[in-house]
Amino acid sequence: MFYAGFGVMDLCVTIKGVSFLLQTGMGIFGNTVVLMAYAHIIYTESKLLPVDMILCHLAFANLMLLLTRCVPQTMTVFGLKDLLNDPGCKVVIYAYRIGRALSVCITCMLSVFQAVTIAPAGPRLSRLKPALPSLVLPTFAGLWLLNMAICIAAPFFSMAPRNGTVPAFTLNLGFCHVDFRDNLSYVINGVAVSGRDFAFVALMLGSSGYILLLLHRHSRQVRNIRRSQGGGGGAETRAAKTVVTLVILYVVFFGIDNVIWIYMLTVAKVSPVVADMRVFFSSCYASLSPYFIISSNKKVKAKIACAAEQDQPSANTRESNDK
């Protein structure tokens, strides 16, 4: 019986470790490829379009999330201990909270930006649309400052794991503990984070619904624009569909994440299995979104194809030299 139980536990740990390893590896690789593609675009074209700037920043935020949460989580699952001391935990948890917050905020920003871009020109939008490119960088700065302020409490509650039992109202992340000390701090933190997330998700859902309405209502007009302008309307439609896909992807995993988070707020001691499930589902968007960007963005896809073609001749040359 003992050996059977030990075998089952060992199998569960292995499955969990492999799952986190695959998720982390895929996510870091995908987001790095997107960032490198945009770096090459900046080098060759010296300028990014606003939507490309937003997608590039989204890839950076997702990469930041994966490096500060999934990498140490994966190392902990495979048995590595004492990864971080107290100052290290404070820095990593703060960076993770900011990265996670930026992921939802920038996805929302992308959705709103695309909704305004394809919206019919009116008295108000006729002034706003030309100003959109100049608003991208100030919006980035505002989102960074907002989330740095909201997440400022995270370092004060973060610490390296202690020997013995985990105190009540403590999130056991494996590599770090987040000790809220009392129920009031625990709930206030949860409400603040969830309130921010729900506000941005509601905004992205509203703008994405508006995008879908416009695409449905003006599908014939979009086809006419595509014919008359040589693909301009088609490009906007593809971009809008990509944005809606990213929003749907985020909302699905956000829903799972917050169902688990609300449950965690109702109990004093959170099971490590529940905490691991939340980490996995909350990181799925960061791991999968770069592949949607790669598959739907012609510029990024072209840069990757170009890099692959450049590597192919060099590989053939090495083979011929070996012969």
pLDDT value at position 318?
54
Whole-number pLDDT of residue 307: 72
Amino acid at position 139, single letter: T
Are the C-beta atoms of 210 and 115 separated by less than 8 Å? yes
Provide the token pair at 89: 């935990």
Mean pLDDT across 81-85: 84
Q: Look at strands 177-179 and 170-172 and give their pairing.
A: antiparallel
> What pLDDT does 102 receive?
94
Cα-based angle 226, 229, 235 (whole degrees, multiple of 5): 50
CA distance 266 to 281: 19
- The predicted pLDDT at position 231 comes to 47
**Model confidence over 234-261: pLDDT tens digits?**
566 677 778 888 899 998 998 888 888 7
In this prediction, residue 188 has a pLDDT band, given cuts at 50, 70 and 90, of confident
Query: To the nearest whole number, what is the mean pLDDT of the chain?
Result: 82
Check residue 164 and give its pLDDT.
66
pLDDT at 232: 47
Residue 51 CA to residue 30 CA, distance in Å, equals 18
What lies within 8 Å, CB to CB, of 83 at 6+ separation is 72, 75, 76, 175
What confidence score (pLDDT) does residue 81 get?
A: 80
- Higher-scoring residue by pLDDT: 118, 94: 94
Least confident range from 163-177, 181-195, 196-210, 231-245: namely: 231-245
More confident residue, 57 or 302: 57
Confidence of residue 91 (pLDDT cuts 50, 70, 90): very high
What local confidence, expressed as pLDDT, does residue 106 receive?
94
pLDDT score for 221: 63
pLDDT above 70 covers a percentage of the chain that reads 85
